[in-house]
Every structure is written in C-alpha cells, then in structure tokens.
Structure 1
Amino acid sequence: MFPSFVPDKARPLARRYHLIPSIFAVCLAGTVLPPNLFNILSVTTSALYLSVQIPAATSGTIPEDYMLPIQALLFITQWVDFCVVHSPAEFSRDKDKEKVPKTWLEKLRWSWSLNTTFRGIGWNWKVKNVPEAAPLSTTRWAFVRTEVLKACAWYLLFDLCFYPINSSRYATASPPDFFSDSLLRQAFLAWMVGIGDYCTFNLQYSLGSALLVAVSLCTPQDCPPLMGRLREVSTVRDFWGKFWHQNLRRRLTLPFNLLTKYITIPRGTLVSRYTQLYLTFIATTLVHHSGAMNITSTSSENNLNQVAFFMLQPVAITFEDFVIYLGKKAEVKESRLTRALGSLWTFAWFTYTLRYAFAFLANTGMFATSVLPSVIQGTLGLIKRYSGGPGLKEL
C-alpha cells in the first residue's frame, strides 16, 4: 500500500499531475472541517498516502521529480501549522477581523485565502520583512502592465545567466567534477545559477501576480515584491532574513514553535535566538533533501553538497554575529565602511558556498535539459542556419 520513499532507479514513467493538487485539496478541506481528532487523523492519513505515491514513478524530468516532494511537504507542514499546532480560529484577515465565516462557501473562500497567502499578507500572521506593496493609487491595469514587463525582463536575465551553463560541459547527464575546475570558473558558474534562480522566482511571481490582479482575485496591494532590496544586505543574516523571499518563513519556523510548545525557552535570549536559527536551516535542509531523494540520477555523496550549502549558512551567521558583538564591545559605530566590509564578506561567502549548490545541481543532470526555451540559443541557431555564422557549440 505504501511504497518505499527511496525511489527505484527502474521506476516507471507516469506524469501524475493530480498528486500535488490533490494534496493541496485535502489540506484545504482540513481547514474547513471542524478541528476534531477524527478529522485531523483523516486529513493526515490522506495527505501522507498521496505523498508516498510520488516516488513510485518518475515524471520524466529531473526538475519536476525534485519539486514534487518539496511541494507536498510544504503543503502538509502548512496544514499541521494551521490546524494541528494552532487552531484556524486563531487566524483572521485584516479586512474582516470581526466577521466569522458561517456558510460552507464562506468557509471555503476563507480557507483558500489562508492556504494561498504564504507570507500572511492581509492576515494577522504576516511574516517579517515583507517589502512595501504598491501605493493605493496604483490601478489594476497599470500594475498588470508593470508586472508583465518585469516578467519579460526576468526571463531575459534568466536566459543570460543560464546560457553559459547550458553551453558548458556541465549541461550533460554525466558532467565532470565541478571542484576540479578553476576557482574563477567555479565562482562564475555558481553566481550564474544563483542569479538565475533569483530571476526564476521573480519571473514566476510577476506572472502570477499579474494574472491574479487581472482577474480581480487580488489587488496590487496584495502582491508586494517577492524579494527585498539588495542595498539592505550587509550580512548573511540580512540576505536570508530581509532579501531572499520569505514564502517559507512561517513553515520553516514550525520545528521551533513545536519545541517551545513543550519546552520553555525564554524569548529574546541567545538560546532562543540560535535554537531557532539552526532549527530553521535544519528544516530547510530536510525540505530540499526530500526533493533530492526523489532523483534517481543523484547519489548520497552528491546530496551532501546541497546539505553543505544550507547547513553552512547558520554557521556563517553565528560567526558574523560574534564579530558584530566584538565590534560593538570595541565601540565601533556602523558606517558606510562597515556596511561595505559586510557586503564584501557576504559576497565572498556566497561565492564560496554557491559552489556546493551548483555541484549538486550539475551532478544530478539538472542542466542537461533547459527548463525554458532560450532566446540566445534560438538566435544563434538562426544565425548559423541562415548566414553560416557560429552556432551555440562554436562559441
């Protein structure tokens, strides 16, 4: 009934598009149903049963195999947070705090909003450091036009970043050892994949925001920018806490919230601060590792590259916190110089650790097929075809 979660390398091909929507629908129903023990057990069993079907077959593409268990796990942890650790009655929307949904349709709409607002925008649980939304004077179609133009820009930047990767020797099913390459090339390719992922997230968000606002499911104020401002980043902690998207922030703090539900850890103490820090990165490591486990082309040794990337981050944050502490003890004031030094440190840190992320992705064969069609490759192909100029492989 329940297959092993470690996939068989000879598993069949099956594009089961229903699994993730079904898991989401089960969790959605869980927030509509009364929060009693029977309903909790029923929703949990149903969601887990659907989830363990994921490794029974391959979707045929490595990126999709990687994302399926991650999406399933995130929906389940969100439901556990909203309906097991807490009660749905604890959450309310800013626009109708006093209104209690009574009919099934009202409850379904309320539940849909709760489960699709990953950063808590417009709710009483909005996460920290969400960028400022569009002004109230922004019209619907002005917002849509801006986001569509942004999406085009993000797509071109994504293409520009992944072109050198897709035309490299790492875009094969059996790439060479990345760490045997020159350090300069390692750094360059690592930053290309990092910036490329940044563009991918923004591309998806801009298109999604434009669509939701265009059909009046959201207002421009419901869709603040996904990422923070780069100029505010001068530490690794700033990068993860202020700049990078906060879509998973609440779900990744679930282990800490569960721990403090049974063990008293005083808020504001060093124990609380660093317990939450390390548990959060352990959680994000496990979430991403669930995706790695569903890829048959990887190995345990290669998966450690991904683990290293995520688990080195809290170590760096702990180190820089200590350096900042020593600076304050020495009465060093924050200035443009200290911020510049912090930005340089942050750049150097990610130059070093992004190499592990690139190595993991390359060794899985993730770059062997392009996720999106390339304008650059298409243009070079046309040049070669019609003018005899250089094509992709010749450059």
Structure 2
Amino acid sequence: MTAIALKSTLWSLSIKPFKRKGGTNLLLNASDLALGLRGIGWNWSQVHLAPETRPTSSKTTFVLWTLASLCLHIPVFDALHYAVQSFGPTTFGTINGGSIFDDTLSPLLRYSRSTFISFLSGLVIYCAIRITYDVATVFGIVVLRQHPTQWPPIFNSPWRATSLSQFWSKRWHQLFRDFFVGVGGVPMTYMFGRIGGVLGTFFISGLLHDVGLWGMGKGSDAVCMIGFFIMMGFGVILEGFWRKVTGHRVDGWIGWIWMCTWLLGWLNLLVNAWAAKGLIGSLFIPDAQRLPVKIFGPLS
C-alpha cells in the first residue's frame, strides 16, 4: 500500500501518458501498472535491469530454471536464518526480540560478532527476496501467461559490486528505484543539487523500510532504519567527492573493500532494529519441516 501511494504521487505529477510496449489486455495492464514495481515494458521505467542468464526462448525451460533456483534458495535461506537465530536463541531469535550487541563482550568482540550476524542477515534477506521473486515469476508465466522477458533477474550479483554507487544503482534489486528517485531524489535535487538528490532518495528508502518495521505492531525505529539508508547516501556522496578530486571512480578491489566495510558497518543499525522488534524470530517454516532443526535440534 505504501508503494502504491508513492507511485500514485508520481502519477499525479506526470506530464505524459503512460504507455505499455505491446499487449492490449486492459485488466492485466491496469494490474501491472498498479502492482508492477519496476515498470518493465512501460515507457516510464528507468530501472537498470540485470542481464538475463536463463533461456527465454522456451517458457517451460525458463520455469524449470526458476524452480531449480527455488529448490536451491529455500534450504539456503532456512540454514542461514537458523544460523542467525542461533546467536540469540532466547532473545532476538524469538518473536520477543532483543539486541544483537552482547554487552558482556569486549567492544572488539561485541562488534565483530554483531557485524557477522548482520552479514548473515543480509544473506537471509537476499535469499528471501530471491524466493519471493521466483514464486512470483512462476505464477506470472504459468498462470498469467506472461513472457519470460517480463521477469528479468532481480539481482545482478551484488557481491561483485566495487562501490556503493554500483551496489545500490545496479546490483541490488531495483524494485523501488523509480519512486525513491521520483518522490525523494528529484525534488531534493531541484532544491539542493546532487547531494540533496542522493540523500532524498535514500531518505524515502529508509522511510519505506521503517513503515514495514512499524507494520509488525511493535512500533518503529526511525533513527536506525532511516539512519542506515542516510549513511548509505553519505557513502555515495563521498564516492562522488573522490571522483571529483582524483578524476577516478571508486573501483577495483579497494573499492570492493570500501563498499563492504561501509555497508556492513552501518548494517548493524538496520539488523539490530529488526532484531529488537522480533523480526529475526519470525517463523517462516514450521520447525517440523526445518532441515537445520532436524540436524542440530530446536533452538529453544
């Protein structure tokens, strides 16, 4: 609902009609306009799409490849989720929630531990999005009779990013990019230039994530949720300064180390907010069907 509200805001400001490239089914077009986040096949979309690696000439083959992806990512997701929960089986591993920071440890061990938890949590989020998208892909092709080209990859190997700018603009999923930029980035660019545009874009991203956290019914944590994305914006701005001063983009293995350090360091804020509200303790797969539980036993 939040996404539709943000998209509706952009629609009200559009100076040209929205047109779809091919297809005349009014019901499907209306549904795709309202629910489709990347605007694939529409003249308004400016989202970067990852290159396709699956065969698109045959729907059957494409669906089989997607089902294979599901068979891979579901157990990996469950194993990673179990691993994260195992660090706090009686605290943030439950729906009661808790902090990922262990005050009984020295600062070095405390933040090393929390950063590792955050890293694993990032992998969990990656797998969860892949699973959701794969399910939607199969539904779109089998039930709605859509073409495989309407379901390009949602990620572009984010672990290969060599800068924060590349990570957020091309390699992480681009589901909300249009209205993040349109609602937050464009107005702030007019008022404060590029710096305002970058921070405005990431502010709307943080706001959307905070609304999702608030939707769990345990309040919000705007400082951590919005703060994480604002710091991502500052990181992108720093990369712009670097390019302006040196004449070179942030890139290569040094850029990769920089990206990982900045991203994982501030990710502690985001993951701790999720942990405190009980999100990490959510039950996605019943314990009776969880392979890690059968192998290592229940967490509590």
Q: Shorter-normalised TM-score: what interval?
A: 0.7 to 0.9
CA drift of 1:191 comes to 0.6
Structure 1 residue ranges (4+ consecutive) displaced by more than 4 angstroms after TM superposition: 134-137
Match of 1:364 among 274, 277, 296: 277
CA deviations on 1:183-205 (whole Å, 9 max, x unpaired) are 22111110111110011001111
Check conservation: 1:228, 1:243, Cα contact below 8 A. Answer: yes
Residue type matched to 2:133 in 1?
A: Y
Residue type matched to 1:339 in 2?
A: G
Partners of 2:75 and 2:56 in 1: CA distance: 29
Match of 2:291 among 364, 376, 384: 376
Residue type matched to 1:348 in 2?
A: T
SS of alignment partner, residue 371 of structure 1? coil
Partners of 1:135 and 1:373 in 2: CA distance: 32
Matched, 1:324 2:243: yes
1:98-247 correspondence to structure 2 within 5 Å: 106-133=25-52, 138-169=57-88, 170-172=92-94, 173-176=96-99, 178=101, 180=103, 182-230=110-158, 232-247=160-175
Structure 1 258/277 Cα, relative in aligned 2: closer, same or farther at 3 Å?
Answer: closer
Residue type matched to 2:149 in 1?
A: Q
Gapped runs of 5+ residues in structure 2? none
Partners of 2:270 and 2:190 in 1: CA distance: 36
Structure 1 136/201 Cα, relative in aligned 2: closer, same or farther at 3 Å?
Answer: closer
Instruction: Quote the RMSD (CA, aligned, Å).
Output: 2.7
CA drift of 1:113 comes to 2.8
| Counterpart for residue 288 of structure 1 | 209
| Counterpart for residue 74 of structure 1 | 3
Residue type matched to 1:178 in 2?
A: F
Check conservation: 1:298, 1:363, Cα contact below 8 A. Answer: no
Residue type matched to 2:39 in 1?
A: G
Partners of 1:214 and 1:225 in 2: CA distance: 17
**With structure 1 as the length reference, what TM-score do the two structures score?**
0.66
Structure 1 176/241 Cα, relative in aligned 2: closer, same or farther at 3 Å?
Answer: closer
Partners of 1:345 and 1:115 in 2: CA distance: 38
State which structure, 1 or 2, has the greater radius of gyration over its C-alpha atoms: 1
Residue type matched to 2:5 in 1?
A: I
| Counterpart for residue 275 of structure 1 | 196
Check conservation: 1:161, 1:195, Cα contact below 8 A. Answer: yes
Q: Alignment identity in percent?
A: 19
CA drift of 1:108 comes to 3.3
Partners of 2:43 and 2:285 in 1: CA distance: 37
CA drift of 1:274 comes to 2.4
Number of equivalent positions: 289
SS of alignment partner, residue 263 of structure 2? helix
Match of 1:304 among 190, 213, 223: 223
CA drift of 1:133 comes to 3.7
Partners of 2:78 and 2:54 in 1: CA distance: 31
Bigger relative contact order (CA 8 A; separation at least 6): 2
Check conservation: 1:94, 1:123, Cα contact below 8 A. Answer: yes
Check conservation: 1:133, 1:222, Cα contact below 8 A. Answer: no
| Counterpart for residue 341 of structure 1 | 254
Farther-moved stretch of structure 1 (180-189 vs 220-229): 180-189
Structure 1 353/179 Cα, relative in aligned 2: closer, same or farther at 3 Å?
Answer: farther
**With structure 2 as the length reference, what TM-score do the two structures score?**
0.85
Partners of 1:136 and 1:248 in 2: CA distance: 26
Partners of 2:267 and 2:208 in 1: CA distance: 18
Structure 1 296/239 Cα, relative in aligned 2: closer, same or farther at 3 Å?
Answer: same
Partners of 1:275 and 1:111 in 2: CA distance: 33
CA deviations on 1:157-189 (whole Å, 9 max, x unpaired) are 211211112223221315246263522211111
CA deviations on 1:240-294 (whole Å, 9 max, x unpaired) are 101111110111123257738xx967xxxxx543222111111112222223334
Gapped runs of 5+ residues in structure 1? 1-71, 266-270, 381-389
